């Protein structure tokens, strides 16, 4: 007990558990970029970049696309004044933002790692006093009807390591992220897309459009352990979980709020983003002492342990019953 109490004054110095020997980033006048080896596994969560704190300030606003401007899967914007990051899935590979290898490994995860690296830079340069927050959305215009429609099953089935090495890597990163994360659910979030929303700390959902649903039961696919843990991290009522997993119920935003896994309702895609920004401004200061991620590691320890467990034949085992139908 005394050891724990003595450690409290040092919270400001807590840093994410990453290697000090990682390559430094290069800084351009317009945005920050990180050079990655072409042989690097994009799903290796130990390889988070640390930015050079010697530059004058980390607070310049910018927008960056991943994996590149000419092949953009996601767009990441940083507002230097509010310290809020906005990560938008662009529907470039699939119009309904299916969580493919590319969207996960070349879009979402590199962008999320970039945000963590930026946060590390704020800590290193003493500019973390206002905190920061991350918002993820599927779009803000009227045509943005889908947050994420889950997986491309055929592509997922072709990779025996898809769940334990690809999808779980993104879920785990969000579950342990060092700043508040908010899913601005602009429309439908089905299956793994529902899990993506639940991996965030909070959810703001458009009450006028979209459902949250785990429909695996309707096409004979067992629920992967990592996806189940993403749901369970935010849903602890077993009757609700039964309704989600065994009945495949489609939850409206209002139903989801009543069940406790949507925090704020909105009236349109733009209002969803506006309310997400409002919530981010309310929460971001809680990260300033850099204990947000450390506390999440404790809260979600069991989920993270399961997500970090590697199974060579995970995808094959999950879809074997469906393949025999």
In order of their start, the domains of the chain are: 57-323 (3.90.226.10)
d(CA 51, CA 313) in angstroms, rounded, equals 37
pLDDT in tens, 278-312: 999 999 999 999 999 999 999 999 999 999 887 54
What is the value of pTM for the model shown?
A: 0.81
Which two structure tokens, joined as six digits, stand for 285? 């200061």
Q: What average pLDDT does range 160-183 have in this prediction? A: 94
pLDDT at 30: 32
d(CA 77, CA 84) in angstroms, rounded, equals 8
Sheet of 188-190, strands arranged across: 146-148, 188-190, 212-213
In angstroms, what CA-CA distances link 212 with 125, 143, 154, 181, 280? 40, 18, 22, 18, 22
Q: Cα(first)–Cα(last) distance of the chain, in Å?
A: 56
Environment class of residue 118 by beta-carbon count within 10 Å: exposed (0-12), middle (13-18) or buried (19+)? Answer: buried
pLDDT in tens, 8-25: 333 344 343 333 333 333
pLDDT in tens, 49-88: 554 444 445 689 999 999 999 999 999 999 999 999 999 9
d(CA 17, CA 37) in angstroms, rounded, equals 21
With tokens 């990051």, the residue in question is 85
CA 33 to chain centre: 20
The mean pLDDT of the chain is: 84
Radius of gyration for the chain, computed over Cα atoms and rounded to the nearest angstrom = 19
pLDDT in tens, 113-126: 999 999 999 999 99
Environment class of residue 61 by beta-carbon count within 10 Å: exposed (0-12), middle (13-18) or buried (19+)? Answer: exposed
pLDDT at 264: 99
């Amino acid at each position: 007990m005394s050891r724990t109490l003595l450690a409290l004054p040092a919270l400001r110095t807590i840093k994410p558990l990453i290697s000090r020997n990682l390559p430094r980033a290069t800084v351009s006048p317009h945005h920050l970029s990180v050079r990655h080896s072409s042989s690097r596994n994009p799903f290796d969560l130990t390889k988070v970049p640390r930015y050079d704190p010697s530059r004058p300030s980390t607070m310049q606003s910018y927008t960056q696309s991943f994996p590149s401007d000419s092949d953009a899967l996601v767009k990441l914007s940083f507002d230097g004044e509010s310290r809020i990051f906005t990560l938008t899935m662009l529907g470039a590979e699939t119009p309904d933002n299916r969580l493919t290898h590319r969207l996960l490994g070349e879009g979402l995860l590199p962008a999320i790692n970039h945000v963590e690296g930026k946060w590390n830079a704020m800590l290193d340069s003493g500019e973390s006093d206002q905190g920061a927050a991350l918002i993820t959305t599927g779009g803000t215009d009227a045509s943005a009807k889908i947050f994420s429609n889950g997986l491309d099953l055929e592509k997922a089935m072709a990779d025996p390591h898809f769940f334990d090495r690809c999808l779980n890597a993104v879920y785990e990163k969000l579950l342990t992220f060092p700043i508040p994360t908010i899913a601005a659910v602009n429309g439908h979030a089905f299956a793994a897309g529902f899990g993506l929303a639940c991996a965030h700390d909070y959810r703001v959902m458009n009450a006028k459009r979209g459902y949250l649903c785990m429909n695996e039961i309707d096409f004979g696919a067992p629920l992967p352990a990592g996806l189940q843990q993403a749901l369970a991290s935010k849903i602890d009522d077993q009757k609700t979980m039964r309704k989600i997993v065994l009945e495949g119920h489609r939850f409206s935003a209002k139903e989801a709020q009543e069940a406790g896994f949507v925090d704020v309702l909105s009236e349109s895609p733009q209002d969803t983003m506006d309310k997400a920004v409002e919530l981010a401004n309310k929460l971001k200061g809680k990260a300033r002492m850099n204990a947000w991620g450390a506390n999440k590691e404790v809260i979600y320890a069991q989920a993270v342990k399961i997500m970090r467990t590697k199974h060579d034949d995970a995808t094959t085992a999950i879809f074997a019953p469906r393949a025999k139908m």
